[in-house]
Structure 1
Amino acid sequence: MSKTNLLSRFIMPLALLLLAFQGQAQAAEGWPREFKNADGTTTSIPAQPKRVLSTSVTVTGTLLAIDAPLAGSATGSNNDWYAQWDSVAKAKKLEKLWPAGSVDLEQAYAVAPDLIVVSTGGADSAKAQLAEFRKIAPTIVVDYGGQTWQKLAEKLGVATGHEQNAAARIAEFDQTVQQARAKISVPPGKANIISFNGAGIPNPIATARGVHSRLLASLGFTMEDPNPAWQTTIKAQNDFVWATYENLTQLTAETSFLLRAPQERVDAFLHDPMLANLPSVKSRRVYSLGINSFRVDYYSANEIVRDVVKNFAKPAENGAQ
């Protein structure tokens, strides 16, 4: 018997044994996994991903929060990251692939991902390229618009094998909220959340069931729900009623929060003649929800909580005797 045949008699069974052991180890860890997509389909993920490509800059924030192995991501339409986690992305040297709305399939191939994440909607959705992405790697579809960042983190944790990281982030944030509640005095009456844009264009108002309102409710606020008849968009919206400027005059909450509002926008709201009779304007209880508050992820949610504590701290927290 030749040396080659002799070696093959021992090496081949050993290789098969190692492959079988690896397969058993992966199965013991829960791989492969079947992921239920937001569009009703199912994606089989054969092994724990090591190179994740995010086609949605909004989803990228949650992937960063659970420390998923991101190899690259689409950016915002301005070819940049969201400010609330920009420093995290830069520290991880996360590669920018394409601006939202300008999918580059060559870049997707170049990243060599073993998992691709696509959102069902939003300006950063790349759902139109699903078929092409699935030729590159297993591709999952998530809906960030209809759920909290916590629920999204749980689902992404399952897809990436980072369930413990997701659970740790959620528990950490829950503790932050509990501590914040103990530090603040919630003013009487209801509160609302407005994306204030002025006359001539829609002024979205957060619904009580939306993620922004639920975050404030977790801090103790009672949220005003806008009239769904004010909706100016054809497609139903879970988080916002896209109301006209004139509809703002019908709001009744004693406290108003403005999305993505620098102080000058808060001042403009307070001095708008059309809004002079709003209870929140009369009581001068109008606040910015934060510059980065439009998308609620782990990072922006922490910023919102921080600002609420700053604006509604109990006297003792302000150093009062």
Structure 2
Amino acid sequence: MRVAQLRRFGALIIAAMVLAIPAWSGAAAEDGWPRTFVNVDGSTTEIPKKPERILSTSVAITGPLLAIDAPVIASASAGNGTFFAQWAEVATQHGVENVWPAGTVDLEAVYAVRPDLIVVAASGAGSATDQIDAFRQVAPTILVSDGNETWQELATQLGKASGLEEQASAAIADFDAYVADAREKITVPEGTANIISFHGPGRPNQIARAGGAHASLLTALGFTMEDPDPAWHTQANNRGDFVWAPYENLVDLTSQTTFLLQVDDSKAAAFLDDPVLANVPSVRTGQVYGLGVNSFRIDPFSGREIVDGIVAKFGK
């Protein structure tokens, strides 16, 4: 066969191959699917299409998913078998099924809800990393961190996995605007502030670090946050959000204002009336407040509750 004929023959083959490419392949590339998600452990997960049925295996992740309008069809709950109170009503409105409490996994429920994306937390009471291989037999499964990250950082990652980047950005912008508006409405007390999960003697008392989600929220409201000494930490792994401190170290805190996690103002008396803490500056000034009953985990729902509580306390 002559060279010219070979060239014409090759051109016909290439043309036939182009015509044989399915019409959907160009559309899939155009709208970004499939896409590869980089998990927190460095592995990757291919997500073939935009998810329509998401299973959250950690109750801590479900709040940010709901905030970006992700199609959550099922979620694990807290250890007591209930959803977090700050978004439980929203979950009910969306028909989110409660599949199991933290600390357990029901693989039959995984198959029953027919997810097309499963989200797993890398740590915490709701982590189900030991079942991740089983999950991946059912649907694409991603692994995210919900420890030191803010809900905004988590929402950004979840937006990438679900194709809801715009919704994630909008949710973050709306929340930031809400906080900025609240800052203009309050008069911040003089001096520094700290945040404590108070349990008394015999147990660690978590103190929020300046770079963590809780302290960052109060910083955005205009407070100057005290950073606890990392050397007080009693756990094996250091964290960027909290120091697990012995009860005795609470007397070394210097802030004039203290906020207590998971309680309202009615429960502040336990801290104010503790005789060992009588000389703590915030006790001497009487400036000890509950941060809110849903304040332990900050998501966009509990975050707004905290902001509203701050405005109610310190409004101009």
TM exceeding 0.5: yes
Mapping of residues 62-77 of structure 1, within 5 Å: 62-77=64-79
Aligned partner of residue 147 in structure 2, secondary structure: coil
CA distance in 1, matches of 2:100, 2:70: 20
Mapping of residues 151-230 of structure 1, within 5 Å: 151-230=153-232
Mapping of residues 119-134 of structure 1, within 5 Å: 119-134=121-136
TM-score, reference length from structure 1: 0.91
Aligned partner of residue 136 in structure 1, secondary structure: coil
Q: 1:73 to 1:237 in 2, by over 3 A?
A: same
Unaligned stretches of 5+ residues in structure 2: 1-18
One-letter amino acid matched to 1:209: G
Deviations 1:207-229 (A, max 9, x none): 11111001100111111011111
Mapping of residues 72-83 of structure 1, within 5 Å: 72-83=74-85
Aligned twin of 2:307 = 305
Runs of 4+ off more than 4 Å: none
One-letter amino acid matched to 1:49: P
TM-score, reference length from structure 2: 0.92
Offset, 1:25 = 1.9
Offset, 1:267 = 1.0
Equivalent position to 1:296, from 284, 298, 314? 298
Offset, 1:104 = 0.7
CA distance in 1, matches of 2:221, 2:64: 21
Aligned partner of residue 22 in structure 2, secondary structure: helix
Offset, 1:109 = 1.0
Aligned twin of 2:268 = 266
Offset, 1:261 = 1.2
Offset, 1:19 = 8.9
Aligned partner of residue 74 in structure 2, secondary structure: strand
Deviations 1:243-298 (A, max 9, x none): 11111000000110000013342011111111111111111111111110100101
Deviations 1:146-196 (A, max 9, x none): 211011111101100111111111111111011011001111111000001
Equivalent position to 1:148, from 147, 150, 168? 150
**Preserved contact between residue 264 and residue 291 of structure 2 (Cα < 8 Å):** no
CA distance in 1, matches of 2:23, 2:197: 55
Aligned partner of residue 291 in structure 2, secondary structure: strand
CA distance in 2, matches of 1:76, 1:287: 25
Q: 1:18 to 1:239 in 2, by over 3 A?
A: farther
Offset, 1:236 = 1.4
Equivalent position to 1:31, from 33, 38, 48? 33
Aligned partner of residue 99 in structure 2, secondary structure: strand
One-letter amino acid matched to 1:226: P
CA distance in 1, matches of 2:213, 2:55: 25
Aligned twin of 2:90 = 88
CA distance in 2, matches of 1:213, 1:83: 22
Unaligned stretches of 5+ residues in structure 1: 1-16, 315-321
Per mean C-alpha deviation after superposition, the further-off stretch among 187-196 and 228-237 is 228-237
CA distance in 1, matches of 2:86, 2:177: 20
Task: Output the aligned Cα RMSD.
Answer: 1.5
Offset, 1:300 = 0.6
One-letter amino acid matched to 1:162: L
Q: 1:254 to 1:19 in 2, by over 3 A?
A: farther
Aligned twin of 1:277 = 279
